[in-house]
Copies of this chain bind each other. A is one copy, B any other.
Amino acid sequence: MARSSSGESVLTRAVRILEAFSPQEPVLTVSQISRRAALPLATAVRLVEELTRHGLLARDEQRRVRIGNRLWELAQRASPMRTLRETAMQFMGDLHGVVGHSAQLGILDGEEVLFIERLIAPGAVVTVTQIGGRLPLHASSAGLVLLAHAPADVRDRVLRGPLQTYTPHTITDQRALRTALAEVRRNGFAFCPGHIRPNATGISVPVRVAGRVVAALGLVVPNDEHAWSLVRSLQITGMALSRALDVRAGLL
């Protein structure tokens, strides 16, 4: 692999450039990129130039830089999550239509939930998640569902902590977390009133393919006495989605 004098490969530097962008700052100047990616300006200029030629980055009218459509397209079209996302969106649309709250879909990635789809209800309780956003496994309802069904080594590492506190209701004690995970497995859902934001309740259920949990489907609703009544609709939707995925996988 071709390396710079610092021993870093071109790919490593290109990835650092892509990582300089964020939802909060999707548009950057080349000097901002050079600072954030900790690259000499000349190197940043050259790499941005080449990434732009490949369509992985793009320039706006003021020559500022953003992620290019081509990167999105390459990532999208062959993503193993494509069938999951597309099928889930149909059910999330139905759920949204019937219960009228924000719905989201998360997968286990490393030791976090990676949210791969969301449907925001107009006037929804603020959700902390965003597409492509992440949350720790112990704090979110989607995380509890995924952690309850995660490989033992992932579960052990997360249980050893540290477990970040968001509100007084966040589960931050190892024993309490172990009990919560056993409940999630027994009940078939995670119900988390105020675990991340005092005014919001997260509810999530497992999504399975061939019996194996591949994702968590969740709602974010106000933290009030109505929240509990939504658990059943969500459970039914999770089961229907799992069934549809089995059909698409040729298992039914």
Contacts and interface: CB of A to CB of B under 8 A. Distances in A.
Interface string A78-90: 1111100110011
B22 A77 contact: yes
Contact of A15 (B15, B22, B54, B76): B54
Contact of A93 (B1, B22, B96, B133): B96
A35 interface: no
Contacts of A109: 69
Given A11-B11, A54-B15, A78 B119 contact: no
A9 interface: yes
Given A15-B54, A67-B74, A71-B75, A131 B86 contact: yes
B1 A80 contact: no
A7 interface: no
Interface residues of A, number: 60
B77 A75 contact: no
A11 B93 CA distance: 39
A46 interface: yes
B86 A118 contact: yes
Contacts of A69: 81, 107, 109, 114
Nearest to A97: B97
- Max chain B C-beta neighbours (<10 A), residue from A27, A79, A81: A79
B23 A78 contact: yes
A97 B85 CA distance: 18
A32 to B, nearest CB: 13
Contacts of A229: none
B75 A72 contact: yes
A13 to B, nearest CB: 10
Contacts of A3: 2
Interface string A136-178: 0000000000000000000000000000000000000000000
- 5 interchain residue pairs of minimum CB distance: A2-B2, A21-B78, A76-B132, A97-B97, A77-B132
